[in-house]
A and B are shown apart, each in its own frame.
Chain A
Amino acid sequence: MKVTLTVNGTNREVDVAPNTLLVDVLRVHLGLTGTHVGCDTSQCGACTVHLDGRAVKSCSVLALQAEGAEVTTIEGIGATDDLHPMQAAFRECHALQCGFCTPGMIMQGIDLVAHNDNLDNASIREGLEGNICRCTGYHNIVRAIQSVADGRAS
């Protein structure tokens, strides 16, 4: 089946089986391997992307459900020489170690800041319930997101 969607600002058309997941369209069909798969039960959040401006787990969205939608992945938010403030904050705060959960964490962090006023430590931690990091103990991830929420990141 043909699915047309906008990925990181570019119109894309892919021909996929009806049971194809959005994450597989991104990783396999479009080669956007920054979005990761860490589990098979929608718990880890490594596959988090933005679908029409909201964070979703792309392992739990069928490609067909993204028909006509705007999808933003980690590759679409900034570049090495032009980092998104959330990317910059993750680096500044040492909010990543192995880097595998990081794209999902950054996409979730952007969503949290965009859709919540007055984020504090507890609400950021609650907002990260759906993203598992095994390296950092979350301490610096929370700090990074807080710094963006506070408008302190460059």
Chain B
Amino acid sequence: MIEENEPTGIGAPVRRREDLRFITGKGQYTDDITQPNQLYAVFCRSPYARATLNSIHTTDAANVEGVVAIFTGAEMVADGIGDLPCGWLVKSKDGSDMLSAPHPPLAASSVNYVGEPFAIVLAESIGEAKQGAESVVADFTEHNPVAELATAAQSEQIYEGIENNLAYEWALGDAEATRTAFAQAAHITTLELTNNRLIPNAIEPRACVGVYEAASGDYTLYTTSQNPHLERLILAAFVNVAPEHKLRVVAPDVGGGFGSKICIYAEEAAVIWAAGKVTRPIKWLAERSESFLADTHGRDHITTAELALDDMGRFTGLRVKTTANLGAYLSTFGSAVPTYLYGTLLAGQYKTPNIYVEVQGVYTNTAPVDAYRGAGRPEATYVVERIVEQAARELGKEPADLRRMNMIQPDEFPYETPVALVYDTGNYEASLDKALELADYAGFEARRAAATEQGKRRGIGFACYIEACGLAPSKLAIELGAGVGLYESGEIRMNPTGSVSVFTGSHSHGQGHETTFAQVVSETLGIPYDDVDLIHGDTGRLEFGLGTYGSRSIAVGGSALVVAAGKIIEKGKIIAGHMMQASADQVDFENGQFILQDSNQSMSIQEVAFASYVPADYPEDLEPGLTAKAFYDPKNFTYPAGTHIAEVEVDIDTGVTTLVNFVAVDDFGHIINPMVVDGQVHGGVAQGVGQAMLEQGIYDEFGQLQTGSCMDYCMPRADDLPDFTVDTTVTPCTHNPLGVKGCGEAGAIGSPAAIMNAVTNAVGSKDISMPATPEKVWRAIRGE
């Protein structure tokens, strides 16, 4: 409940209403849902990175006490269960379609990464299911795995018909014009970069509960998903587990996603299918070690980048060649992340007139790679901001000045980049200036000198990033290969007593929509905040939805609610006009009141809602009720941008690098709840610090994951991080009704480049790769 006189409208830092259940232990996450008579599932997973699956013997397992059933891939195929599809068809530069490796939910004839599931064991208890899984005997013939990204295209061919293990060779930009720019350049800077493989690790492991009602034929899948409608669509249309109208997907409280819970996973398909086979509910919960093996991973690029400059220091060309690891299969959006979400962002904040990028998407015998916070945009920012910084150092220019002279200016919007985007608005120097001030850039040399006196090295680095959020519009996305539209749905139901039930296709798994979306509707309709409730995450209650990823929720889902609210107001004017003996166009709406022009008459929206449900004095031919739906399809992406500045101190003796200060100044357009936005930036920056300094998913030459637990894969702890300084600048988005841009990923997009620019500044070597571990830094200091 809101305190009396507490501001709740757009822009107010309303304390989150969802917190009350989370801080009292009353959240309902998937593993908290228990069905009567439920079975427990455990998956048998491949111990090999690449092998032929000759046979599976289940007799011993079936005899384990408590084991109820064991299913294999062959049985799923026999039952007509289809492959897990990739949702984005990328075309190669020669116009050919990408080559998809077949991806059955349970491997039937071959396994292609360690951890790939090939059987599901169901038992009365989790212990019995584990014992059953250990008793399943599979006969494999091992093959040499392709574990190394750099040599994957020259390695043994993994899949028949997919030569050089290449899913696609994608390109964007004008190759010829870029070649000319380089031929005429006064200076060329070249960088070899790797973008390290990351493992998302939402703290809630993936889980699902499948339920089948034999009497009705209805399936219900409770699952850890960022997009339950997309899950239902794919499970119904491609995997064929049930007709769409017979499948309900519920994503209850979800403990973080970061992209890893977008994907439609094998375990979900197998559990809901098996629930139908045994007609008993089935629960599956990943152990963390399974999450490491079988959740989608992120990033994993090797890139050569070249920047051409004229004799004034103006950028004249950027040429980028990237090899992107797709893992063993094309995951749900795995094909789009290193192409359309990466190459299109290579203009950054700059007026570089000629850009050409080529991306080779390669298969390896590793876990599938898909979206992880930022998804393509951190990789693009890392390329642009590392090479711009390096160019400044080579030319002896002040890095801020070199950036400034190349930035797109506020009067140059809308600005069409050479890589297919049209930026609608921005003021890049404003965020750069504010960040320089907050970081006390002017005082850095004194701090550096003080550190040097103590035998340490200080470095400072920045990243002026741009991102594209709220992927849109649908028509363009579908033309470029998307399998679905990228709109969002919203519905507002005015209840007869004047309260409001709001439904959104966006999904909240930490973002705080129950609070922020209620703020938007409360202000738009002039209804008290406490009278507005948000419902999300259940295909049984919502019309449709595309879910939450790509920082799209407020820009697309929030806008849908504003459009729906507009329809409520329009209908309300007809009703109020009638009741005040006037026409609708004589009625204005303001702060929850329908006001008759040139009079002292008005009606509240609550009175109008009541009248709509008890239509005594009511317009003829008008339907009763006051509800409205909207599908909002954005006209363009939104383009959040900003400057992040990192300052590090390096211990020369140990190589230990400490992040001593981090400043983020972001332009997210209008802000609904600044408290929530600051929190999103903090979390994103922490994940960016993880990428730059701590985290790396490592497979050995045999394709075995060497970083398969929280003891081996180093996520940031509290004492790895400083307090963050975050602030904003505002240029409202020009094409959505809230003027918002989205804030979920910015922290993870700008920070890795800023930190690595600081580390390389401190050490004086450009050749340190992420994560900047003490060993790497120690060796770099010694010129190794």
Contact = CB atoms under 8 A, between A and B. Distances in A.
Contacts of B711: 41, 43
A61 to B, nearest CB: 18
Contacts of A102: 22-23
Contact of B683 (A39, A75, A135): A135
Given A40-B287, A92-B15, A136 B682 contact: yes
A20 to B, nearest CB: 10
A44 B29 CA distance: 17
Contacts of A78: 24
A8 to B, nearest CB: 10
B306 interface: no
A129 to B, nearest CB: 5
A71 to B, nearest CB: 13
B710 A43 contact: yes
Interface of A: 17, 32-41, 43-44, 46, 73-75, 78-80, 83, 87, 90-92, 94, 96-103, 106, 121-122, 124-126, 128-129, 131-142
Contacts of A133: 203, 718
A80 B676 CA distance: 21
Contacts of A43: 709-711
B510 A135 contact: yes
B456 interface: no
- The SS class assigned to the B binding surface is loop
B523 to A, nearest CB: 20
B718 A94 contact: no
Nearest to A35: B25
Interface residues of B, number: 57
A14 to B, nearest CB: 15
Contacts of B682: 136-140
Contacts of B700: none
Interface string B400-443: 00000000000000000000000000000000000000000000
A139 B202 contact: no
B570 interface: no
A106 B23 contact: yes
Contacts of B181: none
B16 A137 contact: no
Contacts of A35: 25
B201 interface: yes
Interface stretch (B94-102, B252-260, B340-348, B644-652): B252-260
Contacts of A40: 287-289, 709
B256 A97 contact: yes
A125 B717 CA distance: 8
Contacts of B204: 36, 38, 98, 100
Contact of A136 (B15, B127, B683): B683
A114 B379 CA distance: 44
B18 A99 contact: yes
A132 B29 contact: no
Given A97-B512, A99-B253, A41 B288 contact: yes
B511 interface: yes
A90 B24 CA distance: 11
